[in-house]
């Protein structure tokens, strides 16, 4: 009888131990940070790639659950409704690509008041509605990189031209200004920007401007077109006019549109922001804010895994880095995404 009593005690002790262990595991799971990537709309390949980046970062961080959400159509109202639900669910953090920078401010303030860390990425929420605004890149990085990319394609020698969008486009003009600054580097002493032309982000006008450059500058070696419409139109002009291999082209382009021209050698390389990196970086920033690794103040340096260090600037503004470079080696992987 005594042995039977001892056996019962041992069994009860073992069951208690197992239940405690299960409880510990459940508690650990419940402590995972719930981070939501709230995009402009669902069914968009660009944002599905953003979601992939969030999952990648969550796996690396280990204590993060990455949740992908968005309205069925790209409206501020749809995003506001989702944020209200997330406040009720008490998630830990929200990263938003905003459909309207101002309309989202009140609900984002409400979320932050409830203890949720809020940042924006890609398309930012106005100041006051987020702690950090993550931009894919900045004007200096874009302009400097564009000159380097065309330099590599023409062996850093010869005449180049710029095919821009409109003459009034603030971002394009800033990028071009930094292109001229970059050209002062001794590495580009044998290169010259001969002209900037404007295709007004219209395919037919951009095409005609590219052909006009071929006629006006017989020795032209390259074109920079920091606009998705321009680079596509100029690539077609190069192909149609038999200039492939004679005039190089780079710029900012969509992989889905430029796959043909990159794979056949018309465009050796181009750049644009990588949506996977955007989701990855946003997740890292939120995780660091929630865990208290950084306070979210100007000057804070965030360890963002493979993306290196992201510095928070004045007003919470931060830059992810240089645009991603697409070439023959990777274009097919991204062409199906955006």
Each domain of the chain, given as residue ranges in start order, spans 32-135+274-320, 139-272
pLDDT of residue 239: 98
Angle at 216 between CA 211 and CA 221, to 5 degrees: 75
Question: 301 vs 191, 264, 280, 289, 319, CA distance in Å?
Answer: 37, 42, 16, 11, 12
Check residue 171 and give its pLDDT. 87
Full-model pTM? 0.79
Name the CATH superfamily, with its identifier, for domain 139-272. Response regulator (3.40.50.2300)
How far apart, in whole angstroms, are the C-alpha atoms of residue 238 and residue 24? 64
Which pLDDT value is given to residue 8? 40
Give pLDDT tens digits for 174-193: 999 999 999 999 999 999 99
Q: In what order do the strands lie in the sheet with 191-198?
A: 191-198, 158-164, 220-225, 248-251
What's the confidence (pLDDT) of residue 170? 86
User: Residue 326, Cβ neighbours under 10 Å: how many?
Assistant: 23
How many CB atoms are located within 10 Å of the residue 122 CB? 23
* pLDDT attached to residue 337: 85
161 pairs with which residues across the strands?
A: 195, 223
For residue 20, the model assigns a pLDDT of 30
32-135+274-320 shares its CATH topology with 139-272: yes
C-beta atoms surrounding 231 within 10 Å? 29
Side-chain half-sphere exposure of 165, counting CA atoms within 13 A: 16
Measure the N-to-C terminal CA separation of the chain; round to a whole number of Å. Answer: 74
The DSSP secondary-structure symbol of 323 reads P
Q: Residue 198 — φ and ψ, nearest 5°?
A: -125, 125
Using 50 as the pLDDT threshold, list the residues of the chain that sit under it: 1-30
pLDDT tens string 213-233: 999 999 999 999 999 999 999
Question: Could you tell me which CATH class the domain 32-135+274-320 is placed in?
Answer: alpha beta
């Amino acid at each position: 009888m005594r042995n039977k009593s001892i056996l019962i005690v041992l069994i009860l002790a073992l069951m208690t131990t197992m239940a405690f262990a299960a409880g510990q595991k459940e508690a650990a799971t419940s402590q995972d940070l719930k981070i939501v990537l709230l995009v402009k709309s669902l069914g968009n390949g660009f944002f599905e790639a953003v979601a992939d980046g969030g999952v990648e970062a969550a796996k690396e961080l280990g204590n993060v659950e990455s949740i992908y959400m968005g309205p069925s159509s790209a409206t501020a109202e749809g995003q506001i409704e989702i944020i209200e639900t997330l406040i009720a669910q008490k998630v830990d953090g929200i990263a938003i690509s905003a459909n309207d920078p101002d309309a989202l401010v009140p609900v984002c303030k409400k979320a932050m008041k409830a203890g949720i860390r809020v940042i924006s990425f890609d398309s930012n929420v106005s100041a006051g509605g987020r702690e950090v605004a993550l931009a894919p890149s900045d004007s200096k990085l874009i302009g400097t990189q564009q000159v380097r990319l065309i330099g590599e394609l023409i062996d850093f020698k010869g005449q180049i031209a710029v095919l821009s969008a409109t003459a009034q486009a603030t971002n394009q003009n800033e990028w071009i200004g930094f292109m001229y600054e970059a050209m002062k580097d001794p590495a580009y002493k044998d290169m010259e920007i001969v002209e900037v032309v404007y295709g007004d982000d219209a395919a037919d006008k951009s095409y005609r401007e590219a052909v006009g450059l071929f006629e006006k500058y017989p020795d032209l070696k390259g074109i920079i077109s920091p606009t998705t419409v321009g680079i596509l139109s100029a690539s077609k002009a190069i192909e149609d006019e038999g200039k492939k291999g004679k005039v190089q082209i780079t710029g900012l382009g969509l992989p889905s549109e430029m796959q043909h021209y990159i794979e056949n050698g018309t465009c050796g390389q181009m750049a644009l922001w990588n949506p996977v990196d955007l989701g990855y970086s946003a997740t890292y920033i939120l995780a660091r804010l929630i865990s208290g690794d950084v306070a979210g103040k100007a000057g804070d340096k965030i360890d963002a895994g493979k993306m290196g260090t992201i510095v928070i600037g004045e007003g919470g503004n931060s830059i992810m880095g240089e645009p991603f470079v697409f070439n023959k080696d990777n274009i097919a992987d991204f062409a199906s995404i955006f």
